[in-house]
Amino acid sequence: MDKHLITGGAPLEGDVRISGAKNSVLPILAGCLLTDESVVIKNVPHLNDVTTMMKLLGQMGANLTVSEGLTIEVEARGLNQPYAPYELVRTMRASILVLGPLVAKYGHATVSLPGGCAIGPRPVDFHVEGLRKMGAEITVEGGYIQAVAKNGLKGANINFDIVSVTGTENLMMAAVLAKGKTIIENAAREPEVQDLGNFLNMLGANIQGHGTSTIVIEGVKSLKGGTYTVLPDRVETGTYLVAAAMTGGRIVAKATRANILTSVLEKLEEAGAHIATGEDWVSLDMRGNRPKAVDIYTSPFPGFPTDMQAQFMALNTVAIGKGILTETVFENRFMHAHELRRMGANIQLNGNTAIIEGVPHLTAAPVMATDLRASASLVLAGLVAKGTTTVDRIYHIDRGYECIEEKLAQLGATIKRVAA
């Protein structure tokens, strides 16, 4: 099991290229199941979760070709096994996203209940109940969801009690080939949901309102092929910007978009960063200063993203003043706080709230990643800690960050990957 060794103390400086969004490419790959024609996806990040989704599609019978330049071609014409086994699904919650496309296109599917990060329950009830409203017969037994729609899916009115990103994406894909109109109320508005809608429309779907709380889908008989470029990863962008802010550095994040992380940039400015933006770049300059503590309250887009909470907790540990973080999206998402304390952080936990009193510096210690974004926060903490920090179980970080040690090293960090 690989580890990261990080010697802190150097301010990050330079340019970093941002990869394609993991949370976009996974549903887009699942959406390729909806057409028999060839689909080419560009700006695909090289991540473990992407590899898992590719294995899943390939096991079902889809043909996949990986080209240089972060491009994948998918052809699902020969798909003959609408079945997602536990062995693959257990490692990645996003595997549930094949359920909607399979039922819509083939009339039946058997999909294992998903696994993934241990950050609290993310129920599949929204997916199941939505498909039932669209006419599917569904049973859940033996750890598997079995869905059948003998006469195809039909349009329905669906209202989420709680905003669900994967629920919105799954039902949006299912509705694309359903008969009639589907209206999804209280839909997720995340940029990745918008990206999926743009991708499906490029294939010939009729989707309106993606990016708002009401999405309207008019079902079509079939989809075509095409070429699509995945949007930049806003969480990766934010993570490198926070790393620069913590180290008092100055970086330019390239191949990204400022308009998909407005709330993060606002908090970085509040922390004392000087931010500038262009069409495809964001720069941050701390001018050698220590950041100021900020309060964070996570909420669905356009609010502050839960996937950036851990990184800002790390920032607050070395900031001037006291910051209060309130996590409203996922329970059990403060596991990184205990590891940060091992490095000298002053963190008090009270339910879904963390109170962080900044200290002048952290001290290196062996720490262990517990989930994807928690692992990022520990790497960031290592960048500002005195001594050499060892971060164990970094397979978590490989699920969501492409070549993180190479990118940080290019910015001046002392970091290397070693085999355990």
Catalytic site positions: 117
Residues 272, 277, 282, 283, CA torsion sign: negative
Task: Give CA–CA dist 173/177, Å, rounded.
Answer: 8
Q: Residue 208, Cβ neighbours under 10 Å: how many?
A: 12
Task: Give CA–CA dist 31/215, Å, rounded.
Answer: 17
Q: In a 10 Å sphere around its CB, with 0-12 CB exposed, 13-18 middle and 19+ buried, how is residue 65 labelled?
A: exposed
Place of tokens 């017969």: 137
Residue 379 phi, psi (nearest 5): -65, -45
Coil, helix or strand for 409? helix
Whole-number Cα distances in Å, 66 to 13, 43, 46, 227: 33, 12, 11, 14
**Which DSSP helix (H) or strand (E) runs through 341?**
helix 335-342
Asked whether 154 and 178 are in contact (CB, 8 A), the reply is: yes
Task: Give CA–CA dist 273/267, Å, rounded.
Answer: 9
- Cross-sheet strand order for the sheet of 71-75: 63-67, 71-75, 39-42, 226-229
Structure tokens at 148: 């059948």
Q: Residue 122, Cβ neighbours under 10 Å: how many?
A: 17
Q: Residue 330, Cβ neighbours under 10 Å: how many?
A: 19
Coil, helix or strand for 62? coil
